[in-house]
Amino acid sequence: MIKNILNLGDAALYCDFGSDVNQEINSNVIKYFYHIKKLNLKGITNLTPSYNKLIISYDLNIHSFLSLKKKIENIEIKENNKLEKNLIEIPVCCDNNFALDIKRVENKLKLKSEIILEKFFSKNYFCYMTGFVAGMPFLGDLNQEMRLKRLETPRVKVPKGSVGITEQFCNIYTFETPGGWNILGNTPQNIFDTSNQSNPNLVNPGDTIKFCRITLDQYNEIKR
Amino acid sequence: MKSKDRNYFKILRAGINTTYQDLGRNNLYHIGIPFSGAMDKRNFQLLNSLLQNDYNSPVIEFAYQGPHLKYFGKDIYFCISGNVSFKIITKEGVIDGNSYQCYLLKNDDEIDIRSTNKSVYGYFSINGTFGVDYYWGSCSINTQAQIGPNNGNKFSKDLEIEIIDINNSFNKRKLDYLGSTIENIRVIKGTNYDYFSETSQNKFFKESFKITKLSDRMGMRLEGPKIENIFDPNIKSEGLVKGVIQITSAGDPIIMLSDHGTIGGYPKIATVISADYDRLVQLTPGSNIKFKDVSLEDAETLYKLYQMETNNLISQIK
């Protein structure tokens, strides 16, 4: 399933699974990720799965590129190895104060806001990867008619909990950070829990997300 | 704890970016948490060796201007590593301290860490252990994700730094070391090297780049000749590692440092070799750097040599 293994600098393997972004390729990345994680190999310092790549960082005192590459190439993963998938419901409020870019999305997609939100909430989304900042899930895929580019000028601060879309993807801002996604709403739910050290992420690669629309009152109720 | 039994520092001035650091946290990239840890690992290692502490003991890292600390408690020793100017203020008077040398500290004494001179990071610790909380096995503060002791924030004025353990069998030691600097940063070509025009590839290795003020523990932004992308200014977001040099859509290089975002979508032109990382992070904004291309095999050997050099320095401590 790995097409090619290159080096990323002198202390990481760059495992290439292809150039397309789809759930089949990504599921292979995730299978390798969980499999290698379970092996608990000495000297592996990080595993970073993304849409179609897996980066394996290692301790240069323990491995060299060629020896670790051989080890990874010899790993056999059965095609029918099923991924563990959770279905997670996440409440989202699309009150005007939260839907920061709804006007822009209306203009770009040439759809009314109610139609946009109806389409957005009518679908489940697959988690391709988490990261950039702690716990941020990259979800997909949006229907064709819902796809638009990111903001021309990114916001300096996107509020924590913001739910945004760009191209075929949506995400949730787990922290207040700079960002350029089109914001449709906000979730009162904590997506990343620093105090839960064994499992801080609410959403993990391979999970399925169902967004549920809530009112401002319900939002405030959950926040309380 | 009764206050007379306490041993602690009070922060009179916090400095610019003062945090606890150790070797950092592993195996969390997949949830978006970077390594963090001391930026300059050699100076971190030398400091703990000088103080006869455990190799992964927490230290206080500071940048540019360090903290001004006042000590309360029984006699301890402290030491500072890096290229640092500092003063020790006691009842007998004020003296200038030297890095890589241990000093006795009594109740009411003060340490004023003035400057990291022509470098960025310095390290401070004692013959003992600071009272810190651990998050995912590390006390490193990552201010961007607000992870670590002190609620993941950098130190502020009036904060009190507890000492929970003092090593009484300590003997005072020192190291004659002036630090090492670097002009050429050695790199390995990146996975998207072909995205850039031949002219730009040549410029990347022939011309020099200036480190801008937009540099911190997350990354180092450079300015110089624009690097022209002839293929695609974006890639599908994928994992990053420290030392990766990405080229932004504007054509400027950014080097990922210890607190970097774990994934990114800019093409990677090159990656700084592990042997040069400690010295790279010590270069101040305004400095010029040149990149030099090396092979993977050479990088692996250069890292081994760098580690031998560090171990050699540790063996010279007396």
pLDDT tens profile B243-274: 999 999 889 999 999 999 999 889 999 999 99
Q: Above 90 in pLDDT, residue A153?
A: no
Residue B152 and residue B201 in one domain: no
Q: Is B247's Cβ below 8 Å from some Cβ in A? A: no
Going from N- to C-terminal start, the domains of chain A cover 4-73, 87-223
Query: What was the pLDDT predicted at A81?
Result: 63
One-letter amino acid for residue B175 of the chain = L
Domain ranges, residue B302: 184-315
pLDDT tens profile A175-191: 888 888 999 999 999 99
68-127 in chain A: CB under 8 A from chain B: none
pLDDT tens profile B55-79: 999 999 999 999 999 999 999 999 9
Pairing state between β B110-115 and B85-90: antiparallel
Percent of chain A whose pLDDT exceeds 70: 97
Residue B14 and residue B161 in one domain: yes
pLDDT tens profile B202-238: 999 999 999 999 999 999 999 999 999 999 888 899 9
Check for a shared fold between A4-73 and A87-223.
no
Q: What CATH number labels A4-73? A: 3.30.1360.40
Residue B8 and residue B98 in one domain: yes
CATH number of the domain that residue B288 is part of:
2.40.100.10
CB B239 to CB A54 under 8 A?
yes
Residue B242 and residue B138 in one domain: no
Residue B53 and residue B79 in one domain: yes
Residue B155 and residue B199 in one domain: no
Query: What was the pLDDT predicted at A152?
Result: 81
Q: How far is CA B152 from CA A31, B21, B140, in A?
A: 33, 11, 9
Q: How confident is the model at residue B8 (pLDDT cuts 50, 70, 90)?
A: very high
Residue B246 belongs to a domain = yes
Residue B161 and residue B255 in one domain: no
- Fold of the A87-223 domain: Cyclophilin (2.40.100)
- What's the predicted TM-score (pTM) here? 0.93
- In chain B, the number of structural domains is 2
A chain contacts of residue B301, beta-carbon cutoff 8 Å: none
Q: Is B193's Cβ below 8 Å from some Cβ in A? A: no
Q: Which stretch of DSSP H or E encloses residue A101?
A: none
Residue B145 and residue B214 in one domain: no
Mean pLDDT for chain B overall: 95
Residue B118 and residue B209 in one domain: no
CB B241 to CB A135 under 8 A?
no
Residue B128 and residue B55 in one domain: yes
Q: Above 70 in pLDDT, residue B130?
A: yes
Q: Above 60 in pLDDT, residue B191?
A: yes
Residue B176 belongs to a domain = no
Percent of chain B whose pLDDT exceeds 70: 99
pLDDT tens profile A2-15: 999 999 999 999 99
Query: What was the pLDDT predicted at B233?
Result: 82
Q: Above 60 in pLDDT, residue B105?
A: yes
Residue B241 belongs to a domain = yes
Pairing state between β A44-49 and A53-58: antiparallel
Residue B239 and residue B274 in one domain: yes
Query: What was the pLDDT predicted at B249?
Result: 85
CB A19 to CB B236 under 8 A?
yes
Query: What was the pLDDT predicted at B4?
Result: 62
ipTM passes above 0.85:
yes
Residue B175 belongs to a domain = no
CB B300 to CB A64 under 8 A?
yes
Residue B267 and residue B147 in one domain: no
Residue A151: DSSP 8-state = P
User: Order of strands, edge to edge, in the sheet holding B68-72?
Assistant: B93-97, B85-90, B110-115, B68-72, B8-13, B160-166, B128-130
Would you state the torsion angle of the CA atoms of residues A55, A58, A63, A67, taken in this order, to the nearest 10 degrees? -10
Q: How confident is the model at residue B92 (pLDDT cuts 50, 70, 90)?
A: very high
